[in-house]
Chains A and B, each alone.
Chain A
């Protein structure tokens, strides 16, 4: 008798109620599924805190075709003349008497003419250059108005509306990567094609590089092409003594490369 009191529903009644309630159980999951859908949309949206980018450049693979410099100008609407570049290709020629000659006619876009001086060449190679996207950027330190900054995903950007064109940052950059935009009269530089990154595309110089001398990817992702590049190559950064902590890594860089 005691047992019946504590259990007023018979098994049959209980099952009947359950079967009636069955269609409504979905209600409990609505908040969860809605949250999941929203979350999925959020992950599709670009979250700068989840990314950190870097570039690898393999000097042994660069053929000096200048397609990167050409495409960069077309993508970012940098005027063809006067000769300013967000990225450019330098030719290094080291002669047998130890002298180093560096030239970059029109950034390498039109190819490299034969070196006129009658030099005995010891070794020679091409070095693509661009903004090193320093983690400790001197250009950001000197900006008097806070117009250039390190974004949360580690790219150094320029605020077009805030820049007053004082040229301090151009002076401060040890890599010569900045210039005064000839028509806008503001500081301009490589942005790692930031507008492409948020759309899930590669920087345009990496996209068009025919020999894959340029590699781009996430620093923190084990499977990214950049991590693979860093695993398989002996890399250096330019001017490490300045403690700018660049995020452009060079493989096969000669001691003469600065």
Chain B
């Protein structure tokens, strides 16, 4: 039997199609970079290009290698977590050629307030000053050593750090009570506030020293019967001791 003849038109079409497909294959080989799809739907060489970017910040380990005499005291100071380049700026060039490029130091008054100016959004307890009132015109460095910052004096008033509490207490019925009437404050709390804590009252009887029936004191002090008043709750579950509202 004779094989069916393929019409000329089909042959012509097949020829054209094969050329188109071949052209597509060649174009694909030409246009798609060889590393595309090696690890995923992207050009693997791009990673190397990104890696090739030069660094500008050398990292504190690099600074430590030469500037040991500064790093040693800083390591134990309040600024231990502040990287050198946070203030001195990028210093990778200085590591490569120490004499040709020397990083600057912000000695003017404007720089330290970036962190230490009073701002209500900053966490409570972070040391802050009101720059306009705090020794105007003086550079910070005249009193404070940035590599080992200590307060010229330990704070004498609790309000130096606990400003929010002090502001509220000042206008409350408890305004006349000093903080230490209720809180025992160890001496070390002034120097290491995050490690040595002030003590707080833990019992109802403590408030009862003034507020129980028959407790000593003037007639203005509100009195309650400790046994019946809000029996199983602690006083500060309902009353805020720095601003007691109940009358």
Contact = CB atoms under 8 A, between A and B. Distances in A.
Interface string A173-202: 000000000000000000100111011011
A121 B85 contact: no
Interface in B46-71: 46-47, 49-57, 59-60
A121 B120 contact: yes
A152 B56 CA distance: 25
B126 interface: yes
Contact of A112 (B54, B56, B119): B119
User: A interface, how many residues as a size bin?
Assistant: 35 or more
Contacts of A93: 121
Contact of A91 (B82, B86, B121): B121
A64 B42 contact: no
A111 B113 contact: yes
A211 B121 contact: no
B219 interface: no
User: B interface, how many residues as a size bin?
Assistant: 35 or more
Interface in B115-146: 115, 117, 119-123, 126
Given A201-B55, A204-B57, A67 B120 contact: no
Nearest to A114: B119
Interface in A55-94: 60-67, 71, 74-76, 91-93
Given A63-B115, A66-B114, A162-B43, A207 B85 contact: yes
A212 B194 CA distance: 15
Interface of A: 46, 48, 60-67, 71, 74-76, 91-93, 111-112, 121, 124-126, 146-152, 157, 159-162, 191, 194-196, 198-199, 201-202, 204, 207-212
Interface of B: 36, 39-43, 46-47, 49-57, 59-60, 79, 81-83, 85-86, 89-90, 113-115, 117, 119-123, 126
5 contacts: A149-B46, A162-B46, A209-B86, A210-B79, A210-B115
Given A121-B120, A207-B85, A210-B86, 20 more contacts: A61-B123, A63-B122, A63-B126, A71-B57, A74-B56, A74-B90, A125-B123, A150-B40, A152-B39, A157-B46, A157-B50, A162-B43, A191-B50, A195-B53, A201-B55, A201-B57, A204-B56, A207-B60, A209-B81, A210-B81
